[in-house]
C-alpha cells in the first residue's frame, strides 16, 4: 500500500522520467559481502546496499551505464568483503559497498562475463564465459583483461596462446617469492592443456603444458590445482588416472617464466577430488569413487597407499581439528559420510576412517569447528548432527525442505531456513544438545545469508521484488522478537532520485 | 696374438684353417655365396671356396660353377627318422621387448610416438627430452655414456653425446635392427626379417650397414638371406642367416668373409639353433630332423655332422667353450668338439628332459612336457642328480656368475597354487630351490651383478617387480603403478629401474641395498617435450 502510494506520487512528480518506471527492476540475487547485502537492479540501473546492523539502505545510481535487461556481466564480490566489481559491456566499476561509492572506473576493450580476483584482492582478471557468446559480434575467448584495482591505469589485455580450445576456468595463486622474485601465477585451464603466466608481469609469454600427447585423442580436462610450497603444483584432471605434478624450475633468463617439469602421479584411477596437505612431508590425497578408495600419494616418490572406503565419496571437506588436518569424505546424494584423520590414515589406513551410514542421501554438509563433527542435510527435509567421535548421527526432521545451512562462528549452533506449508521458518539447532528452535517468518520464500562482518543472519524474501529481509543477530536467541524486518529496499530514496 | 691362438685351435681341430686375420675376409666380393677369394681350406675338405676350373680345385662339399666354388653340401647325411624335438628350444623364458637402455646412472627411453629420446637421471629424477628422428625404435648406450638411436621412420641414426647433443647420420636405406659392438665404436644396422611389419621396405634384407661412430662414416655390405641374429666376436660381426653365417670384420671400410655353411645339406641351412663359441673358433648347430649336431670351424670350415641316436631338442655350449650338451629326451649327450665322433651319453634314468641351461659348473636339465622334475649335471664329474620341481618348468635362465638359475613355471589345471604362475630360484651347487608363486606370468627378467629383477603383472593384476638377492635368494616385492615393460640396473647408483606401460612414459627407481628406501617414480615425462 505504502509502495503503491509512493509510485503514484512519483508518477505525478516525475512524469518526464516515466520511461524509467516502465522498465522492470530485474534485481539480481542478493550478493552477501562481509557486512552488507547488495542488489543490482540492471533495469534502472542501480545498486542497493543493506546494512544489516541498522537496517539502513543506500542506493548507488549507476550513472554512465545504460540500463540492460540481458547479456553478460554482473556484480562480483571482492575477496576483502567490502568491495564489489561491476562488469558491464565496456565498463568495469570498483565499488566500495560500505560507503557505497564508485572508487574506480575503467573502460574495457571488449566485454567480459566473468571475474577472477587475486586472493589478495589487488588485481582482477576479466575473462569470458566458457561456451557462451560474449554478446558482441565477435570475440576471442582466450583474451583476458587484467585490472589493477588500486590504480586507474587502463586494463592490460592479452590473448593466451590457444590450441583450439578456450579457457574453462581460471585460478589465481597467492603472491609468492620464487627464485628470488615475487610471482603471482594465473592458471588457465582448457581442454587438454593448461597455461600459466605471472599476474605481476603479465606481458611475459605464458607457459603452456599439454596434458596429452599429440596423437592421443583423450579428453583430459584440468579441474583442480593445489600447491604446498609454491614451487610444485598438482593438477587433477578429468580423463586421467594420474595427478599431474608440475615442479617449477628457474630459467637462465631471469625475465622468463620458470619452466615446469612435469611428472604424473598415479592416483589409482580417475580422481574425483584432491587435497594437498603438508604432513611434513607433503602428501596428496585423492578420492577415487570408481574404486571406492582413498589414495595417499607421496609426491616426491610417486608411492601410493590405497585405503578401501566401502563407499563412493567424491568430495573432500577439509578442516582442522585441534590444529591437525582432517577431512570429511562425502558425495551429494550419498547416504554416507566419513571422517578421516589425515595425519594417521597413511599408517593406520582404514582404522583412521570413521564411516557413518545414514538413511538418506546428504545434500549439504558443514563441519563443526573444534571437533570431529558435522551437520548434514539429508534428502530435503532432514537434518543430522554427525559426531564421528562417538560415531553417532542424531537426526532431526523438518516439515519442509531445508536450505541455507549455516554454522555459527563458535560452532555451537547451526541455522537454516525451512519451507513449510505455513511459509518460511528460521531454525536453529544447538549442536551439543540437538535441541531445535524455530521462528516463523511468514509466507516467504527465501534464502539465508550469513554476514560475519555484521554478526548477522539475513533472510531474503525472494518473493519480494523490491527487496525485503529479516535480520537477526548471529548470537541472539532465536525468537520472533529478535527478528527485524526491512522491506522496499530497492525503493529507498526513490522520491529524491 | 689372437690370431696365433686361433691358428692353434684350428690345428687342434685337425683343420687346415688359416689365421682368421688373413684368409676369408674380402671387401670386394659381391656374391657372398660364391667367393672368388682363395679359401683357407675348411674342415676336412681342403679348399672350401675360391676360383676353380673344376671340382678338383674346390674343397669337399663345393662344386666348381662358372669359375667359383659353390657349397653344395656333404654326402652321407640321412635325415633322421626319429622323433624331432623341434629346432627352437622348447624352453620358455620371459623376454622383454621394450627398447630401453641404461647407462651407469641414467635410463634412456626412446619414444616412438613423440620422436624423442628421454634421459632420466636415476639419482635426481631429472628428465631431459631430446628430439631425434622419426620413430626411434632402438637405442643403445655407448661405453662413454652417449647413445646411438635407430630411427625407424626416417632411416637415420641419431648419435647423442653424453652431454645430450644430437648428431644425425642418414642410413640411405631402411633397416630395423641395430647392434653395437662391445668397444662402442661400430654400430651395425640390419634388417631383421622377424621384425618386419606389413608393407615395410624389405629391400635391405641382405644388407648390413656398418657405422663407424667415431668417424661418423657408413659402409654397406652384403650378407646372407634373412639374418635372424647378430653376435660380435672380437672385431667381427657374425650374422646368422638362412644361408649360413655371414662374417663381417669391423674395419673402416668393413671386410667380409664368404658365407660359412652351417649344415651339411645345403637345403637345411635355415631354421637352425646356432651357437657360436666365445672365441669365435667354431659354430655348432642343430636342425629339424637331423639326428645329430653340426659344427663348423670359422671362418671358412666345412660343416661336420656328429651323429646322435635321436634328434636333439636343445643344444648348449658348456663353459669350456669346447663341449656341447645335446638334449634328446630320455638321454643326453656330451660332445667334445676335439673328439666329436665319441659323444658321451648321459642316462637320464627314465626322466624325459628335453632342454638345458648351463651354469658355471652345473647344468640344469628339465622338460616343459614333464611335470615336477629337473636334473642337475655336474659338468666336471658328469654326476647327475634329480630333483622334484614345484611346478612344470617352462624354461630356465642362469644368472651371471653361473651359480643361480631361475626356473619359469607354468600354471596347471587345479585350484590356488596349482593354477598360479610362478618361478623358482635354484642354487645350482646343491639344488636348493625357492618357489615364488605369482598371479600372472612373469613378463621379463633382468640380471644385475648381484640381483635378478623379475617383472610381474599387468595394470589390473597388482603389477610388481620382484627383486631377488642372488646370494641369499631373499625376495623383495616392489609394487608398481602400471604394467612393467622393461627393467635394468644403474651400477653407479646401486639402484634398479622399471619402465612401465604408460602413454606418456613412466619409470620407477628403487635402491638395491635399502629395503626401506621409497620407490621413486617419474611419469608423464614425454609430455615435458611439449611444454612451451
Within 8 A of A242 by CB-CB distance, chain B residues are 523-524
Cα–Cα nearest to A242, from A260, A228, A262: A262
Chain B CB within 8 Å of residue A260 CB: yes
Q: Assign residue B472 the CATH number of its domain.
A: 2.120.10.30
B486 assigned to some structural domain: yes
Establish if B31 belongs to a structural domain.
Answer: no
Q: Looking only at Cα atoms, what is the longest distance across chain A?
A: 77
Alpha-carbon torsion, ordered B320, B323, B329, B330, to 10 deg: -90
Tens digits of pLDDT across chain B (532 residues): 333 333 333 333 333 333 344 446 664 444 333 333 333 333 333 345 567 888 888 877 788 887 888 887 765 444 333 333 334 445 666 665 567 888 889 999 888 877 889 899 998 888 888 889 999 988 999 998 899 999 989 999 999 998 889 999 999 899 999 999 999 999 999 999 888 888 888 888 899 999 999 888 999 999 999 999 999 998 999 999 999 999 999 987 888 888 899 998 888 888 899 999 988 888 999 998 888 999 998 877 889 999 988 889 899 999 999 999 999 878 899 999 888 888 999 988 888 888 999 999 999 999 877 656 899 999 999 999 998 888 888 889 999 999 999 999 888 888 788 888 899 999 999 999 999 988 888 888 999 999 999 999 876 677 889 999 999 999 998 888 788 999 999 999 999 999 998 878 888 999 998 877 778 888 887 787 777 7
Cell of B365: 636339465
Residue A118 Cα distances to A71, A190, B363, angstroms: 25, 19, 72
Whether B113 sits inside 8 A of A215 (CB atoms) is yes
Whether the Cβ atoms of residue B39 and residue B22 lie closer than 8 Å to each other: no
Q: B204 in a domain, yes or no?
A: no
Given this model, what pLDDT does residue B468 score? 94
Question: For residue B197, with 0-12 CB atoms within 10 Å meaning exposed, 13-18 middle and 19 or more buried, which class applies?
Answer: exposed
Angle of CA points B447, B448, B451, to nearest 5°: 85
CB contact under 8 A, B502 and A264: yes
pLDDT at A236: 96
Residue B9: predicted pLDDT: 34
Do B530 and A214 lie within an 8 Å CB cutoff? Answer: yes
Task: List the single residue in B113, B520, B528 with the smallest CB-CB distance to A302.
Answer: B520
Give the HSE-up count for residue A413: Cα atoms under 13 Å, Cβ half-sphere: 18
- What is the C-alpha to C-alpha distance for residues A228 and A378, in angstroms, rounded to an integer? 34
The string of DSSP letters for B58-99 reads: S-TTEEEETTEEEE---TT-----S----SS-S---------
Counting every residue, how long is chain B? 532
Tally A–B CB contacts below 8 A. 75
B512 falls within a domain: yes
CB contact under 8 A, A215 and B527: no
DSSP type of residue A453: G
- Residue A351 forms contact with B (CB below 8 Å): no
**Residue B26 and residue B255 in contact, taking contact as beta carbons nearer than 8 Å:** yes
Q: What is the pLDDT of residue B461?
A: 73
The answer to whether the Cβ–Cβ distance between A265 and B521 falls below 8 Å is yes
Instruction: Give dist(CA A2, CA A488) in Å, integer.
Output: 9
* C-alpha cell at position B255: 671386410
- List the domain range (segments joined by +) for residue B490: 439-532
CA distance A486 to A37: 12
Whether residue B411 contacts residue B420, with contact meaning beta carbons closer than 8 Å, is answered with yes
Mutation to test the A interface, candidates B135, B479, B481, B497, most A Cβ within 10 Å: B481
Look at residue B248 in the predicted model and tell me its pLDDT. 93
Interface of B with A (CB under 8 A): 113-114, 125-127, 481-482, 502-504, 506, 508, 518-528, 530-532
Residue A146 phi/psi, 5-degree rounding, is -115, 125
Q: Look at B504 and A213 and tell me if their CB atoms are within 8 Å.
A: yes
Residue B456 lies in a domain: yes
Look at residues B309, B315, B352 and name the one whose alpha carbon lies nearest to residue B337.
B315
Cα torsion through A299, A302, A303, A306, rounded to 10: 80
Sheet holding B147-151, edge to edge: B136-141, B147-151, B156-160, B166-170
Grid coordinates belonging to A432: 551439543
Helix (H, G, I), strand (E, B) or coil at B259: coil
**Window A:193-222, CB contacts with B under 8 Å:** 207-216
Cβ atoms of B482 and B465 within 8 Å: the answer is no
Predicted confidence (pLDDT) per residue in A60-85, tens digit: 988 777 766 666 678 999 999 999 99
- The whole-angstrom distance between A211's CA and the closest CA on chain B is 7
Best residue in B111, B123, B527 to probe A by mutation, most A CBs within 10 Å? B527
The 10 Å CB-count burial string (b at 16+, else e) for A90-102 is ebbbbbbbbebee
Judge contact between B486 and B444, C-beta under 8 A.
yes
Contact B442, B454 (CB under 8 A): yes
Say what the pLDDT of residue A19 is.
56
The answer to whether B29 and B37 have CB atoms below 8 angstroms apart is yes
Helix or strand or coil: residue B359? coil
The string of pLDDT tens digits covering residues B412-468 is 888 788 888 899 999 999 999 999 988 888 888 999 999 999 999 876 677 889 999
Query: What pLDDT shows up at residue B526?
Result: 77
* Rounded-to-5 percentages of helix, strand, coil across chain A: 10, 50, 45
Low-confidence stretches of chain A (pLDDT < 70) are 1-25, 67-72, 131-138, 494-497
- Is B241 a domain residue? no
Residue A110 touches partner B, C-beta closer than 8 Å: no
Instruction: Give which of B118, B145, B140 is closest to B130, Cα–Cα.
Output: B118
Smallest Cβ distance to B523: which of A207, A208, A266?
A266
Across the beta sheet with B433-438, what order do the strands follow? B393-398, B404-409, B421-427, B433-438
Half-sphere exposure of B134 (CA within 13 A, CB side): 6
- Domain-embedded: residue B288: no
Q: What's the confidence (pLDDT) of residue A152?
A: 92
Q: In what order do the strands lie in the sheet with B127-131?
A: B101-102, B106-111, B116-121, B127-131
Q: Which of A222, A239, A262, A270 to mutate to test the interface with B (most CBs of B within 10 A)?
A: A262
C-alpha cell at A182: 615475487
Cβ–Cβ under 8 Å, residues B126 and A247:
no
Phi and psi at residue A433, to the nearest 5°: -105, -10
Kindly tell me the sign of the dihedral angle through the C-alpha atoms of A52, A57, A62, A68. Answer: positive
Going by DSSP bridges, is the β-strand pair B255-256/B244-249 parallel, antiparallel, or unpaired?
Answer: antiparallel
**Cell numbers at A36, concatenated:** 552488507
Q: Does A298 touch chain B (CB under 8 A)?
A: yes
Answer whether residue B42 is part of any domain: no
CA of B523 to nearest chain A CA: how many angstroms apart?
5
DSSP B236: E
Number of domains chain B is built from: 1
Amino acid at each position: 500500500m505504502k509502495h503503491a502510494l509512493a509510485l503514484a506520487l512519483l508518477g505525478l512528480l516525475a512524469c518526464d522520467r516515466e520511461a524509467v518506471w516502465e522498465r522492470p527492476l530485474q534485481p539480481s540475487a542478493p550478493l552477501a559481502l562481509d557486512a552488507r547485502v547488495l542488489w543490482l537492479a540492471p533495469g534502472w540501473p542501480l545498486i542497493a546496499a543493506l546494512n544489516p546492523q541498522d537496517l539502513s539502505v543506500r542506493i548507488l545510481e549507476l550513472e554512465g551505464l545504460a540500463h540492460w535487461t540481458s547479456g553478460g556481466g554482473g556484480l562480483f564480490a571482492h575477496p576483502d568483503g567490502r568491495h564489489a566489481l561491476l562488469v558491464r559491456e565496456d565498463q568495469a566499476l570498483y565499488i566500495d559497498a560500505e560507503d557505497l561509492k564508485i572508487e574506480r572506473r575503467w573502460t574495457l576493450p571488449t566485454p567480459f562475463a566473468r571475474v577472477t580476483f587475486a586472493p589478495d584482492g589487488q588485481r582482477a582478471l576479466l575473462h569470458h564465459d566458457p561456451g557462451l557468446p560474449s554478446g558482441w559480434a565477435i570475440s576471442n575467448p582466450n583474451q583476458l583483461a587484467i585490472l589493477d584495482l588500486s590504480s586507474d591505469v587502463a586494463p592490460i589485455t592479452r590473448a593466451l596462446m590457444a590450441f583450439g580450445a578456450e579457457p574453462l576456468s581460471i585460478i589465481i595463486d597467492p603472491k609468492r617469492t620464487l627464485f628470488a622474485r615475487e610471482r603471482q601465477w594465473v592458471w588457465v585451464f582448457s581442454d587438454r592443456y593448461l597455461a600459466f603466466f605471472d599476474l605481476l608481469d603479465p606481458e611475459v609469454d605464458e607457459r603452456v603444458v599439454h596434458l596429452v600427447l599429440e596423437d592421443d585423442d583423450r579428453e583430459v580436462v584440468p579441474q583442480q590445482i593445489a600447491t604446498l610450497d609454491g614451487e610444485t603444483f598438482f593438477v587433477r584432471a578429468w580423463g586421467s588416472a594420474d595427478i599431474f605434478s608440475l615442479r617449477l624450475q628457474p630459467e637462465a633468463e631471469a625475465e622468463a617464466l620458470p619452466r615446469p617439469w612435469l611428472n604424473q602421479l598415479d592416483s589409482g584411477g580417475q580422481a574425483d577430488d584432491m587435497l594437498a596437505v603438508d604432513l611434513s612431508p607433503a602428501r596428496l590425497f585423492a578420492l577415487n569413487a570408481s574404486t571406492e578408495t582413498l589414495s595417499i600419494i607421496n609426491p616426491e616418490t610417486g608411492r601410493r597407499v590405497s585405503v578401501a572406503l566401502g563407499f563412493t565419496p567424491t568430495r573432500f571437506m577439509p578442516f582442522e581439528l585441534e590444529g591437525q588436518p582432517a577431512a570429511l569424505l562425502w558425495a551429494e546424494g550419498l547416504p554416507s559420510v566419513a571422517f578421516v584423520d589425515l595425519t594417521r590414515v597413511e599408517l593406520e589406513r582404514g582404522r583412521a576412517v570413521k564411516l557413518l551410514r545414514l538413511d538418506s542421501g546428504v545434500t549439504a554438509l558443514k563441519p563443526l569447528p573444534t571437533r570431529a563433527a558435522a551437520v548434514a542435510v539429508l534428502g530435503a527435509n532432514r537434518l543430522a548432527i554427525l559426531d564421528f567421535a562417538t560415531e553417532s548421527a542424531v537426526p532431526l526432521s523438518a516439515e519442509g525442505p531445508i536450505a541455507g545451512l549455516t554454522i555459527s562462528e563458535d560452532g555451537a549452533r547451526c541455522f537454516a531456513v525451512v519451507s513449510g506449508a505455513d511459509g518460511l521458518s528460521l531454525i536453529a539447532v544447538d549442536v551439543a544438545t540437538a535441541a531445535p528452535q524455530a521462528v516463523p517468518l511468514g509466507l516467504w520464500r527465501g534464502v539465508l545469508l550469513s554476514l560475519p562482518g555484521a554478526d548477522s543472519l539475513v533472510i531474503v524474501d525472494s518473493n519480494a521484488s523490491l527487496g525485503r529481509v529479516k535480520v537477526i543477530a548471529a548470537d541472539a536467541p532465536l525468537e520472533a522478537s529478535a527478528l527485524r524486518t526491512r522491506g522496499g529496499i530497492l525503493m529507498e530514496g526513490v522520491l529524491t532520485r | 696374438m689372437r690370431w696365433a691362438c686361433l691358428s692353434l685351435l684350428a690345428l687342434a681341430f685337425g683343420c687346415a684353417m688359416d689365421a682368421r686375420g688373413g684368409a676369408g675376409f674380402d671387401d670386394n666380393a659381391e656374391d657372398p655365396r660364391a667367393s672368388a677369394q682363395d679359401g683357407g681350406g675348411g674342415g676336412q675338405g681342403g679348399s672350401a671356396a675360391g676360383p676353380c676350373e673344376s671340382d678338383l680345385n674346390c674343397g669337399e662339399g663345393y662344386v666348381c660353377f662358372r669359375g667359383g666354388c659353390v657349397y653344395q653340401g656333404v654326402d652321407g647325411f640321412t635325415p633322421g627318422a626319429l622323433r624331432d624335438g623341434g629346432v627352437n628350444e622348447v624352453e620358455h623364458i620371459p623376454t622383454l621387448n621394450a627398447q630401453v637402455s641404461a647407462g651407469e646412472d641414467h635410463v634412456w627411453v626412446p619414444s616412438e610416438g613423440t620422436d624423442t629420446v628421454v634421459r632420466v637421471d636415476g639419482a635426481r629424477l631429472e628428465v631431459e627430452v631430446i628430439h631425434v628422428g622419426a620413430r626411434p625404435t632402438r637405442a643403445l648406450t655407448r661405453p662413454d655414456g652417449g647413445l646411438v638411436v635407430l630411427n625407424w621412420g626416417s632411416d637415420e641414426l641419431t648419435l647423442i653425446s653424453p652431454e645430450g647433443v644430437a648428431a644425425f647420420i642418414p642410413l640411405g636405406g631402411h633397416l630395423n635392427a641395430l647392434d653395437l659392438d662391445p668397444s662402442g665404436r661400430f654400430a651395425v644396422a640390419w634388417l631383421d626379417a622377424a621384425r618386419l611389419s606389413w608393407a615395410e621396405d624389405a629391400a635391405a634384407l641382405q644388407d648390413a650397414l656398418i657405422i663407424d661412430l667415431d668417424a661418423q662414416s657408413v659402409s654397406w655390405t652384403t650378407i646372407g638371406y634373412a639374418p635372424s641374429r647378430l653376435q660380435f666376436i672380437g672385431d667381427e660381426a657374425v650374422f646368422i642367416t638362412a644361408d649360413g653365417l655371414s662374417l663381417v670384420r669391423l674395419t673402416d671400410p668393413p671386410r667380409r668373409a664368404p658365407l660359412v655353411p652351417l649344415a651339411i645339406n645345403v637345403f637345411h641351412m635355415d631354421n637352425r639353433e646356432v651357437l657360436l663359441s666365445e672365441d669365435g673358433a667354431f659354430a655348432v648347430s642343430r636342425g629339424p630332423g637331423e639326428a645329430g649336431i653340426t659344427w663348423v670351424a670359422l671362418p671358412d670350415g666345412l660343416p661336420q655332422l656328429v651323429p646322435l641316436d635321436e634328434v636333439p631338442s636343445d643344444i648348449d655350449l658348456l663353459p669350456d667353450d669346447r663341449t656341447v650338451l645335446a638334449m634328446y629326451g630320455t638321454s643326453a649327450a656330451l660332445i667334445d668338439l676335439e673328439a666329436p665322433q665319441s659323444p658321451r651319453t648321459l642316462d637320464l634314468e627314465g626322466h624325459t628332459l628335453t632342454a638345458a641351461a648351463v651354469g658355471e659348473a652345473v647344468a640344469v636339465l628339465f622338460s616343459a612336457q614333464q611335470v615336477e622334475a629337473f636334473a642337475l649335471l655336474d659338468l666336471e664329474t658328469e654326476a647327475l642328480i634329480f630333483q622334484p620341481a614345484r611346478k612344470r618348468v617352462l624354461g630356465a635362465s642362469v644368472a651371471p656368475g653361473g651359480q643361480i638359475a631361475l626356473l619359469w613355471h607354468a600354471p596347471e589345471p587345479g585350484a590356488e597354487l596349482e593354477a598360479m604362475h610362478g618361478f623358482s630360484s635354484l642354487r645350482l651347487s646343491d639344488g636348493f630351490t625357492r618357489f615364488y608363486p605369482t598371479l600372472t606370468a612373469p613378463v621379463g627378467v633382468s640380471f644385475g651383478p648381484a640381483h635378478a629383477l623379475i617383472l610381474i603383472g599387468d595394470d589390473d593384476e597388482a603389477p610388481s617387480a620382484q627383486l631377488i638377492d642372488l646370494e641369499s635368494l631373499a625376495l623383495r616385492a616392489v609394487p608398481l603403478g602400471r604394467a612393467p615393460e622393461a627393467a635394468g640396473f644403474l651400477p653407479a647408483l646401486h639402484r634398479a629401474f622399471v619402465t612401465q606401460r604408460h602413454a606418456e612414459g613412466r619409470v620407477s627407481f628403487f635402491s638395491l641395498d635399502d629395503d626401506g628406501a621409497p620407490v621413486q617414480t617419474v611419469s608423464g615425462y614425454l609430455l615435458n617435450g611439449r611444454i612451451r
